[in-house]
C-alpha cells in the first residue's frame, strides 16, 4: 500500500483563462508522517532498487492493455478514439516530449550531418507528421475577437483543452458530443450577440438581395475559413440565408454555421495538393498565413496576411521574415509570447489550483508578472535568452510587492519594471509563479520537483519515473533539519543514480518558500543553497550557489538553448518533433546560436524552417 | 414486467390528436399537465464523491465503517448516516474489493476503474498524464456502467430504442454533469464511453441549465410559439446540414487517421439534429424547472463548491422528471480532491488532510458526511416525486461510488451505496456483508438490474465475474 504522496501537478492544460482547476493542484501537507520517519527512510532506501532503464517505451504497456480491453464493450459503438491513431505512435505528450527532445538535442540521437540535411530537398525532404487539431480555447477567443470584435473569454464555456507536451493542443483529442454541443451553443450565442452589427460586418445591405448576401458570404467566409470559399460553399450559405425569414436572421444563421464549420474550428492543413500525402507538401499560402498567425498571435491572420496569401507573397523567404518582424511588433504578439512562456514553465491558474481558488487575485498577479516579463524581454527588450534567466528586474503588482519585500512605488502603474535584489532574484526562475508551481511542500519533495522542472522543461532531458512500489514519501520537516538533510537518503544507494540529476538542482531553490518568498532559514538552520548540475553537458557542469547562479549557468548553455528552440517548435506546430524534423531543428538551432540566442531570431528561424512551411499528413508518427 | 408503451409514439399520437406539431414539443408539458398514462422509466445515476472513507494516515488506525445490525435492520455508520432515513430504499454492499488496477497510483486507477472495472493504461495514443508518485498513465480502457446501459436497449431497460434509432425517447442518451472536476486527465475523469474515450462532464451549472431547460418557458401565445418553434427547427436543421456537408468535405481532404475525429464530430452533430426532433419531454407532476443557477466563478472558486453542488443536484430530479435523459452521472470534485471544505471550518484541502500525521478522521468524517447530506437532499427530492406505482427514486438506481476504499489508499472496503430500486429490480433495505468480493460482481449486478440480464462480465480487471449473488 502506498502512502501519502502528492503527485506532481498535472501538465494537461496550461490555460490561464477560465476556470476549472478543480482539484488539480495538490497542495501540500505541512507535516509529514511523524512516527513513520524511520520506516519511511528505510523504505526510501530499499525502494529505489534496481537499475532504471532509460527508455521506457511509452506505448508498449498500453498496447498490452488495449488488447485486453474488450470487456463490456456494449458502448463501443462510438467514436473509436484509439483506433485511428498511428500504430507506431506513442506520439505524444510529456513522455513523448521528453524522449523526442533528447533525440533533437542532448540525448542519444546523432545529429544529422551537413550532407544529410543538404540532400533533403524536393522530394527527399523530411518532416514530422501533422494532425488535424481543433482550435484551443485561447485561439478561439482571440479569433472571435479579431473576426467579430467579441471580447472576454467566450471559450470558457468549452471543455478544457488537452495538451501536446506542455502546450495546449487538441491535436489528439477526439471530439465528444458535449464539445460539439458547446461549440454549437457558443456559435449561436456569438451570432446572436453581433446580430445588431450586421450592416457593419456584412459590408452591404443584406436586404437588397442575393448579390449582397454572396458578397458577405464570400468576404466574411474567407476570414472565417481562413481561405477562399469554394463556389459550392458560397451556394450553401446563400441557401442557408434564404431559410431565415428576414435578413437579420439570415445573417445570424450564416454566422452560426460558419462558427461551427470544421474549417473554422480546426487547423486543417493539407498543403498545395489538397489531398493528404506521405511526403511533405508545401502549405498553401492561406494555410501558411494561418499557421503563422496562430503561432505569433494565437489568432487568425489579419488583412495584410490574407492579401499576401492571395498574391502568393509568402512563398518568398524575405517576405516571410519581414512578416515575422511586423507581427512581433503588433500588440497581438503579446497574446502568443506569454502563452508560450507560461506553458513552457507550466504556470497557469490550473497549475496553481489551490492558490487560484483561494487567492485568485494573487494568482492573477503571478500570471501577469510572467506575462509582462516575457513580453518585455522577448518583444521590446534585447530578446536574449540569457535575459530570461538573469534579469534582475520583474513586473510585480498587487500582493507580489509584499511577497518580494519591495515597497510599491507611489503612483505605481501595473506593468512597470521594478528592480529587485540581484543577489536573490534573476529572471523567470525566481518569479513566484514558477516557484509556487513547482513547490510541493517541504515534506513532499519540492527539491525533487523543482529539479525535475529544470531538467524536463529547460534542459529537455527526461527523468524516468521512480521504480514501481517505491515509497516516495519524503522525510518530514523537523526542527534542526533542512531539506538537504532530509534528502540525504537519495545520495546513496540505488536512488542516487536518478536523484543526482534532480536533487542537487532542487536544493538550490530552498531559499524560496511555498509562496515564492525569499528565506534564509529552514527548521531553525541556515539554508545552504549550493547546487550542482550533474550529467548535463560541459557547458552546464559544476557547482553553483542558489538560483541566481543557476540562472547564469543556464543563460550561457547551448543545451538550454537547443531545448528552448525545441519547445518553441512544439508550440509553433502543436506537435512533438520527430526524427524526421532533425534537419529543420538543426537549422533553427544554428540560427539561434548565430544570433547569440536571440529569441526573436529563433522565432524567425522556426517560421523559415521546412517543418513550418510544409505539411505531411500521412504515415506513422515514428518514434523519435 | 410489461413495458409501458414507448412515450415517443404515444406522444406523437397525442400531438396528432391535438393537431399540434412536434416542433412544439418543448412546450407541451405546460399545455398538457394531465391525462397521461403513467410513465415509469427506469433510470440510472452514477454519483461520485472524492477520496476514500475517512481513515487518514495517522496512527489512529483504520475504521471499517461497517453498518451495525442485521441484513434488514441496520444502522448506517457515521460517514453514510445522513442516508439513514432512506434505509428501506438502499443497499450497502459492505466490504467489496475494488476491481481496479493499472498505471499510476490508487487515485488514478481508482478513478478510471471504479465505474468501469477496467484497467488504467500506461501512456500511449497521445495520452500521457501524471498518475501520482511520478508515474505516468494513459486513459482508462473500458466503458463505465452508465455508458454500457445507455448503449444498449431493450425491454425493462432505460431505453427501448437503440442509440442509433431515429426515434429517440429522450433528448439526451446520457448526461454527464460535474462540479469542479479539473482539466481532462486520468485522475479527473471517471466516465468512459469506451477504451481511450473519457467523457468530460459539463461543470458549468448555468450552461447545463440553459442547455437543458431553455425551452421550458410557458408561451404566452401558443400559436406564435408553435410557428417560431417550427421555424427554429427549419433553421437549425439547415445550419447543421451545412456543417455536416463541411465535415464530409473535410474528410475527403485529410488522412484516414483523422477519420475518428471527423466521425465523432459528425456523431455530435447528428445528436444535435436528433434533439431537434425529439419528442420531449414527458412531464409528470414532478417536472418543475429548477431555478437558474448563477454563473460559475472564476478559477472554480473553492467557496462556490457548495452552491454549484446544490445547483447540479437540484437539477437531477427535474432532468429525470422532464425525461431529458434516463442515464446520468454526477461527479463532485475529482480524485485527489483539492477542495477545501471551508464551510466545515477546514483550512486544508481534502486530499492533503487525508495524509497528515495528525488524526484528521473527525474532519474527514465531516467531509464524507457533508457529501452524504448533499446526496440525501437530492434523493429526498426524487423520493417526493410520485410516478404512479412508486416514487422516482423507486424507479431509479443511484450508485454512490468513490475512487478509493479508504483515504489511506486501501482499495477495500469500497464505500459504495446503492439507493433506489431500479423499478423493482433490486430488493432494497439491506446491508450485505460481501467482504472481499470483487466490485466487478456488483457492477454486473447493476447492469442486470438495469435490464441487461444476460450480462456476466464488466471490464478487464475481474472479467467474467458474474453477478453478486448475495444481492439477489
Higher pLDDT pick, B23 / A529: A529
CB pairs under 8 A between A and B: 409
Q: Out of A36, A96, A159, name the one closest to residue B128 (CB).
A: A96
From CA B95, how far away is CA B110, in angstroms rounded?
A: 16
Task: Give this prediction's pTM.
Answer: 0.85
pLDDT of A454 higher than 70 = yes
Average pLDDT of span B17-23: 39
Contacts of B455 in chain A (CB under 8 A): 72, 74
pLDDT cut 70: percent of chain A above it:
78
**pLDDT class of A306 with cuts at 50, 70, 90:** very high
| DSSP bridge pairs for A525 | A522
pLDDT, tens only, B159-185? 999 998 888 888 899 999 999 998 889
Q: Out of A22, A62, A82, name the one closest to residue B188 (CB).
A: A22
pLDDT, tens only, A211-231? 999 999 999 999 999 999 999
Q: Are B296 and B308 in contact (CB under 8 A)?
A: yes
Indicate yes or no: CB of B176 within 8 angstroms of CB of A35: no
Which own/partner pairs from A484-487 qualify as long-range (CB within 8 Å, at least 24 positions apart)? A484/A510, A484/A527, A484/A528, A487/A447, A487/A448
Instruction: Give me the helix-helix angle, B222-253 and A247-258, nearest 10°.
Output: 40
Element (H, E) at B371: helix B361-383
Q: What is the pLDDT of residue B369?
A: 95
Contacts of A233 in chain B (CB under 8 A): 246
Pick from A18, A36, A75 the residue to mutate for testing the B interface (most B CBs within 10 Å).
A75
Element (H, E) at A433: helix A432-437
From CA A386, how far away is CA A294, in angstroms rounded?
A: 26
pLDDT of A73 higher than 80 = no
pLDDT of A442 higher than 90 = no
Contacts of B247 in chain A (CB under 8 A): 262
Q: What is the pLDDT of residue A351?
A: 66
Indicate yes or no: CB of B231 within 8 angstroms of CB of A245: yes
Q: What is the pLDDT of residue A438?
A: 84
Average pLDDT of span A590-601: 97
Q: Return the minimum-mean-pLDDT range out of A413-417, A475-479, B197-201.
A: A475-479
- The nearest alpha carbon in chain B to A61 belongs to B122
**Closest CA–CA distance from residue B310 to any residue of chain A (Å):** 16
Indicate yes or no: CB of B258 within 8 angstroms of CB of A59: no
The overall average pLDDT reported for chain B is 86
Q: What is the pLDDT of residue B1?
A: 34
- The nearest alpha carbon in chain B to A63 belongs to B124
Pick from A72, A237, A501 the residue to mutate for testing the B interface (most B CBs within 10 Å).
A72
Indicate yes or no: CB of B271 within 8 angstroms of CB of A181: yes
pLDDT of A288 higher than 60 = yes
Measured CA distances, B241 to A51, A213, A225 (Å): 58, 19, 17
State how beta strands B90-94 and B129-130 pair.
unpaired
Q: Out of B57, B197, B246, name the one closest to residue A3 (CB).
A: B57
Q: What is the pLDDT of residue A489?
A: 74
- One DSSP character per residue, B105-171 reads -HHHHHHHHTTT--PBPPSBTTB-EE-STT-EE--BSS--HHHHHHH---TTSS-SS-TT-SS-SSS
Q: What is the pLDDT of residue A602?
A: 98
Q: What is the pLDDT of residue A99?
A: 30
Average pLDDT of span A64-72: 31
Q: Are A33 and A476 in contact (CB under 8 A)?
A: yes
Indicate yes or no: CB of A185 within 8 angstroms of CB of B132: no
Average pLDDT of span A539-566: 94
**pLDDT class of A425 with cuts at 50, 70, 90:** very high
pLDDT, tens only, B267-289? 999 999 988 865 333 333 347 78
Average pLDDT of span A53-69: 31
pLDDT of A52 higher than 50 = no
pLDDT of A401 higher than 90 = yes
Find the farthest-apart pair of alpha carbons in chain B and give their distance in angstroms, rounded.
Answer: 72
Which own/partner pairs from A544-549 qualify as long-range (CB within 8 Å, at least 24 positions apart)? A544/A508, A545/A508, A546/A424, A546/A508, A546/A511, A547/A426, A547/A429, A547/A430, A547/A508, A547/A509, A547/A511, A547/A512, A548/A390, A548/A422, A548/A423, A548/A424, A548/A425, A548/A426, A548/A430, A549/A508
Q: What is the pLDDT of residue A476?
A: 64
pLDDT, tens only, B82-124? 999 999 999 999 999 999 999 988 999 999 999 999 999 998 8
Indicate yes or no: CB of B258 within 8 angstroms of CB of A132: yes
Element (H, E) at B396: strand B396-401
Contacts of B409 in chain A (CB under 8 A): 1-3
pLDDT, tens only, A489-516? 777 777 777 788 888 888 889 899 888 9
Task: Report the 3 state secondary structure along A251-304.
Answer: HHHHHHHHCCCHHHHEECCCCCCCCCCCCCEECCHHHHHHHHHHHHCCCCCCHH
Q: What is the pLDDT of residue B277?
A: 67
**CA A126 to the chain's CA centroid:** 24
| Residue found by looking up cell 518585455 in the block | A376
Q: Out of A79, A131, A245, name the one closest to residue B197 (CB).
A: A79
pLDDT, tens only, B427-459? 999 999 999 999 999 999 999 999 999 999 999
Contacts of A22 in chain B (CB under 8 A): 180-183, 188, 203, 300, 333-334, 338
From CA A112, how far away is CA A127, in angstroms rounded?
A: 13
pLDDT, tens only, A97-123? 333 332 333 333 577 888 889 888 877
Q: What is the pLDDT of residue A621?
A: 52
From CA A202, how far away is CA A213, in angstroms rounded?
A: 8
**pLDDT class of A8 with cuts at 50, 70, 90:** very low
Q: What is the pLDDT of residue B192?
A: 97
The overall average pLDDT reported for chain A is 80
Contacts of A73 in chain B (CB under 8 A): 142-143, 194
Amino acid at each position: 500500500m502506498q502512502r501519502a504522496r502528492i503527485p506532481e501537478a498535472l501538465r494537461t492544460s496550461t490555460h490561464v483563462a477560465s476556470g476549472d482547476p478543480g482539484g488539480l493542484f495538490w497542495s501540500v501537507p505541512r507535516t509529514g508522517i511523524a512516527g513513520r520517519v524511520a520506516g519511511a527512510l528505510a523504505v526510501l532506501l530499499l525502494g529505489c532498487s534496481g537499475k532504471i532503464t532509460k527508455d521506457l517505451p511509452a506505448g508498449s504497456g498500453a498496447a498490452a492493455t488495449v488488447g485486453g480491453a474488450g470487456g463490456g464493450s456494449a458502448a463501443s459503438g462510438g467514436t473509436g478514439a484509439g483506433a485511428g491513431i498511428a500504430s507506431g505512435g506513442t506520439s505524444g505528450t510529456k513522455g513523448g516530449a521528453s524522449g523526442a527532445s533528447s533525440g533533437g538535442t542532448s540525448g542519444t540521437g546523432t545529429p544529422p550531418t551537413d550532407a544529410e540535411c543538404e540532400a533533403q530537398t524536393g522530394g527527399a525532404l523530411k518532416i514530422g507528421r501533422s494532425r488535424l487539431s481543433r482550435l484551443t480555447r485561447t485561439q478561439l477567443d482571440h479569433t472571435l475577437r479579431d473576426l467579430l470584435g467579441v471580447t472576454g473569454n467566450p471559450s470558457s464555456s468549452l471543455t478544457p483543452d488537452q495538451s501536446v507536451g506542455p502546450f495546449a493542443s487538441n491535436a489528439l483529442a477526439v471530439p465528444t458530443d458535449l464539445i460539439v454541443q458547446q461549440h454549437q451553443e457558443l456559435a449561436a450565442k456569438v451570432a446572436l450577440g453581433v446580430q445588431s452589427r450586421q450592416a457593419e460586418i456584412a459590408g452591404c445591405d443584406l436586404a437588397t438581395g442575393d448579390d449582397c448576401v454572396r458578397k458577405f458570404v464570400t468576404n466574411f467566409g474567407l476570414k472565417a475559413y481562413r481561405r477562399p470559399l469554394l463556389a459550392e460553399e458560397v451556394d450553401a450559405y446563400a441557401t442557408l440565408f434564404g431559410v431565415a425569414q428576414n435578413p437579420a436572421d439570415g445573417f445570424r444563421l450564416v454566422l452560426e454555421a460558419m462558427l461551427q464549420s470544421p474549417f473554422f474550428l480546426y487547423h486543417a492543413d493539407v498543403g498545395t495538393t489538397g489531398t493528404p500525402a506521405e511526403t511533405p507538401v508545401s502549405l498553401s499560402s492561406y494555410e501558411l498565413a494561418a499557421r503563422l498567425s496562430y503561432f505569433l498571435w494565437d489568432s487568425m491572420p489579419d488583412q495584410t496576411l490574407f492579401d499576401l496569401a492571395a498574391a502568393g507573397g509568402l512563398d518568398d523567404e524575405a517576405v516571410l521574415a519581414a512578416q515575422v518582424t511586423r507581427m512581433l511588433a503588433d500588440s497581438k504578439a503579446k497574446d502568443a509570447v506569454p502563452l508560450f512562456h507560461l506553458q513552457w514553465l507550466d504556470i497557469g491558474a490550473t497549475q496553481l489550483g489551490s492558490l487560484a481558488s483561494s487567492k485568485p487575485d494573487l494568482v492573477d498577479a503571478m500570471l501577469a508578472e510572467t506575462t509582462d516579463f516575457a513580453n518585455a524581454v522577448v518583444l521590446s527588450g534585447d530578446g536574449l535568452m540569457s535575459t530570461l534567466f538573469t534579469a534582475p528586474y520583474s513586473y510585480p503588482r498587487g500582493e507580489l510587492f509584499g511577497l518580494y519585500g519591495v515597497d510599491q512605488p507611489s503612483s505605481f502603474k501595473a506593468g512597470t519594471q521594478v528592480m529587485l535584489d540581484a543577489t536573490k532574484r534573476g529572471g523567470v526562475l525566481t518569479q513566484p509563479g514558477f516557484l509556487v508551481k513547482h513547490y510541493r511542500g517541504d515534506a513532499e519533495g519540492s527539491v525533487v520537483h523543482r529539479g525535475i522542472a529544470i531538467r524536463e522543461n529547460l534542459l529537455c532531458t527526461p527523468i524516468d519515473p521512480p521504480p514501481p512500489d517505491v515509497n516516495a514519501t519524503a522525510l518530514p520537516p523537523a526542527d534542526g533539519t533542512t531539506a538537504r538533510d532530509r534528502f540525504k537518503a537519495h545520495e546513496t544507494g540505488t536512488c542516487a543514480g536518478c536523484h543526482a540529476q534532480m536533487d542537487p538542482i532542487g536544493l538550490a531553490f530552498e531559499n524560496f518558500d511555498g509562496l515564492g518568498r525569499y528565506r534564509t532559514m529552514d527548521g531553525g538552520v541556515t539554508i545552504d543553497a549550493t547546487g550542482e548540475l550533474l550529467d548535463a553537458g560541459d557547458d552546464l557542469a559544476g557547482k553553483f550557489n542558489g538560483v541566481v547562479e543557476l540562472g547564469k549557468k543556464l543563460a550561457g548553455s547551448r543545451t538550454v538553448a537547443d531545448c528552448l528552440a525545441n519547445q518553441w517548435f512544439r508550440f509553433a506546430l502543436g506537435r512533438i518533433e520527430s526524427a524526421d524534423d532533425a534537419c529543420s531543428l538543426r537549422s533553427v538551432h544554428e540560427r539561434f546560436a548565430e544570433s547569440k540566442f536571440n529569441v526573436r531570431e529563433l522565432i524567425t528561424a522556426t517560421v523559415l524552417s521546412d517543418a513550418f512551411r510544409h505539411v505531411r499528413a500521412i504515415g506513422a508518427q515514428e518514434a523519435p | 414486467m410489461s413495458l409501458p408503451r414507448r412515450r415517443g409514439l404515444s406522444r406523437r399520437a397525442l400531438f396528432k390528436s391535438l393537431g399540434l406539431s412536434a416542433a412544439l414539443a418543448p412546450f407541451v408539458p405546460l399545455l398538457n399537465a394531465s391525462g397521461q398514462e403513467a410513465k415509469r422509466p427506469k433510470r440510472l445515476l452514477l454519483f461520485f464523491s472524492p477520496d476514500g472513507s475517512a481513515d487518514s494516515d495517522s496512527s489512529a488506525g483504520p475504521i471499517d465503517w461497517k453498518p451495525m445490525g442485521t441484513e434488514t435492520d441496520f444502522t448506517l455508520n457515521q460517514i453514510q448516516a445522513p442516508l439513514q432515513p432512506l434505509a428501506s430504499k438502499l443497499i450497502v454492499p459492505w466490504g467489496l474489493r475494488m476491481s481496479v488496477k493499472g498505471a499510476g497510483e490508487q487515485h488514478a486507477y481508482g478513478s478510471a476503474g471504479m465505474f468501469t472495472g477496467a484497467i488504467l493504461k500506461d501512456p500511449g495514443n497521445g495520452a500521457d498524464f501524471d498518475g501520482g508518485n511520478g508515474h505516468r498513465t494513459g486513459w482508462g480502457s473500458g466503458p463505465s456502467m452508465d455508458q454500457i446501459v445507455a448503449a444498449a436497449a431493450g425491454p425493462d431497460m432505460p431505453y427501448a430504442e437503440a442509440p442509433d434509432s431515429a426515434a429517440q425517447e429522450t433528448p439526451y442518451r446520457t448526461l454527464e454533469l460535474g462540479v469542479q472536476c479539473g482539466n481532462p486527465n486520468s485522475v479527473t475523469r471517471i466516465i468512459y464511453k469506451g477504451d481511450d474515450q473519457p467523457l468530460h462532464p459539463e461543470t458549468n451549472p448555468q450552461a447545463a441549465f440553459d442547455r437543458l431547460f431553455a425551452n421550458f418557458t410557458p408561451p404566452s401565445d401558443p400559436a406564435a410559439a408553435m410557428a417560431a418553434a417550427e421555424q427554429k427547427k427549419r433553421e437549425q436543421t439547415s445550419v447543421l446540414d451545412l456543417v455536416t456537408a463541411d465535415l464530409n468535405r473535410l474528410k475527403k481532404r485529410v488522412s484516414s487517421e483523422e477519420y475518428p475525429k471527423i466521425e465523432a464530430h459528425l456523431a455530435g452533430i447528428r445528436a444535435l439534429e436528433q434533439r431537434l426532433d425529439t419528442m420531449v419531454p414527458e412531464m409528470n407532476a414532478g417536472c418543475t424547472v429548477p431555478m437558474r443557477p448563477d454563473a460559475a466563478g472564476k478559477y472554480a472558486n473553492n467557496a462556490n463548491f457548495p452552491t454549484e453542488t446544490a445547483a447540479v443536484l437540484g437539477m437531477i430530479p427535474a432532468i429525470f422528471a422532464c425525461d431529458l435523459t434516463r442515464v446520468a452521472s454526477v461527479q463532485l470534485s475529482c480524485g485527489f480532491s483539492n477542495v477545501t471544505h471551508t464551510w466545515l471550518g477546514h483550512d486544508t484541502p481534502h486530499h492533503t488532510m487525508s495524509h497528515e500525521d495528525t488524526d484528521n478522521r473527525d474532519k474527514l468524517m465531516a467531509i464524507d458526511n457533508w457529501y452524504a447530506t448533499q446526496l440525501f437532499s437530492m434523493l429526498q427530492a426524487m423520493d417526493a416525486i410520485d410516478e404512479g406505482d412508486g416514487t422516482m427514486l423507486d424507479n431509479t438506481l443511484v450508485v454512490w461510488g468513490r475512487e478509493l476504499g479508504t483515504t489511506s489508499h486501501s482499495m477495500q472496503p469500497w464505500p459504495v451505496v446503492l439507493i433506489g430500486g431500479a423499478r423493482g429490480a433490486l430488493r432494497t433495505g439491506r446491508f450485505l456483508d460481501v467482504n472481499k468480493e470483487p466490485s466487478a460482481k456488483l457492477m454486473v449486478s447493476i447492469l442486470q438490474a438495469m435490464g441487461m440480464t444476460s450480462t456476466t462480465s464488466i471490464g478487464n480487471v475481474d472479467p467474467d465475474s458474474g453477478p453478486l449473488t448475495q444481492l439477489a
